Amino acid sequence: MTTGSRGLEASERSPAKSRAEGPESQAADGTTAPTPAVAVDDLHKRFGTGPDAVTAVDGVSFEVDPGSVVGLLGPNGAGKTTLIKSILGMVVPDRGAVRIKGIDAREAPRAAYAHVDAMLEGARNDYWRLTVRENLRYFATISGVDPASVADRHERLLDRLDIADKADEPVRNLSRGMKSKVSLASVLAGGAEVVFLDEPTLGLDVESARTFQAEIRRLAAETGLTVILSSHDMGVVETVCDRVIVVSAGEIVADDTVDGLLRQGDAHTVELTSPAFDRGLLATLRDRVEVTAVDRLDRGARIEVTTDTEGLYALMATLRDQDVSLSRVRTVERDLSDVLVDLTTAEGA
């Protein structure tokens, strides 16, 4: 879907120039910091009233630097879509403020959203009877851009997203993955400086998802595009995001780089193999640690346990006390989805 109007000025100005000319704010130490592309302050949104009310966004604040790619992660129903829609003004928040490039979105919505575009919930923003190229021209036009002046950019987009050979096909004739690419191209066609992408790789095959990721990184690096995307695809998030905001039950529970998130917490997952692992011993171990997998072997079993450092020492002590010899010990690398599950299922999250 397309959100707001996209300004000619914004799209036609060179990004380097636009950054240089952009408003800056004075930091406490006297240095100037670029004005955040997006600043969200204490946003709240509740649906319904009484006992059935749902608090979808519960006091969320964050800032996004221009030219960065930020991932919004969280389980189903965490509030990601409502947060994005509240920032875009498609849902009216109960409280809180949104500033786009320093412009208050409530006081001056047209000016604030002139720089913004979005692709939400896999929704096709495209006109299926129009061809791919006609869609890009259409979206450029409603952004206030003369499509002829951006024809080269459109050709580049079609090339990079590998849909140039379908440029003159009506969108309705394309496969689902190709339609997703056209949606993305349409979002980028008018030259928005800030884009919101909700589940952008839904329906894309592995190669198309990779192309998409590379394109997002390139646009952020070369044109200063700011991207805020939500995805359940951890591969996408790990590859393209400079920073990840984890949302659970309407609140931010973590805000860090991918590496920072992977390092955080005191959880270890270890794979242990022993001929002595039988039903009785496994029951004893389950009392002490979380046994996340059991693979029975001809003799004994291979198990996977997740615990903190203290729990790991206690587990090893128990095995020693019971004279259990381990034939193999292997540390299992934790990935972003493990961290996400820990963060969003932690007590109180």
Residues of this chain that bind ligand ATP (CB under 6 A): 47-48, 54, 56, 74, 76-82
Q: Which of 46/268 has CB closer to ligand ATP?
A: 46
Q: Which of 23/77 has CB closer to ligand ATP?
A: 77
Helix, coil or strand: residue 55: strand
Go through the chain and tell me how many residues it has.
Answer: 349
Minimum distance from residue 336 beta carbon to ligand ATP (Å): 16
Minimum distance from residue 344 beta carbon to ligand ATP (Å): 10
Q: Which of 74/190 has CB closer to ligand ATP?
A: 74
Q: Which of 48/50 has CB closer to ligand ATP?
A: 48
Kindly give, in sequence order, each residue whose CB lies less than 8 Å from that of residue 110, ignoring residues fewer than 6 positions away.
4, 5
DSSP 121-148: TT---S-TTSBHHHHHHHHHHHTT--GG
Pairing state of beta strands 243-248 and 69-73? parallel
Q: Which of 84/116 has CB closer to ligand ATP?
A: 84
Minimum distance from residue 270 beta carbon to ligand ATP (Å): 31
Helix, coil or strand: residue 61: strand
Q: Which of 98/171 has CB closer to ligand ATP?
A: 98
Helix axes 206-223, 176-189, angle to 10 degrees: 10
Q: Which of 47/128 has CB closer to ligand ATP?
A: 47
Minimum distance from residue 43 beta carbon to ligand ATP (Å): 12
Minimum distance from residue 174 beta carbon to ligand ATP (Å): 25
How far is CA 259 from each of CA 63, 80, 116, 237, 264, rounded to the nearest angstrom? Answer: 19, 22, 29, 12, 9
Question: Residues 102, 23: contact at Cβ < 8 Å?
Answer: yes
How far is CA 95 from each of CA 40, 46, 249, 256, 304, rounded to the nearest angstrom? Answer: 11, 10, 17, 25, 45
Minimum distance from residue 48 beta carbon to ligand ATP (Å): 6
User: Of 166, 188, 189, 192, nearest to 179 (Cα)?
Assistant: 166
Minimum distance from residue 208 beta carbon to ligand ATP (Å): 21
Kindly give, in sequence order, each residue whose CB lies less than 8 Å from that of residue 314, ignoring residues fewer than 6 positions away.
288, 289
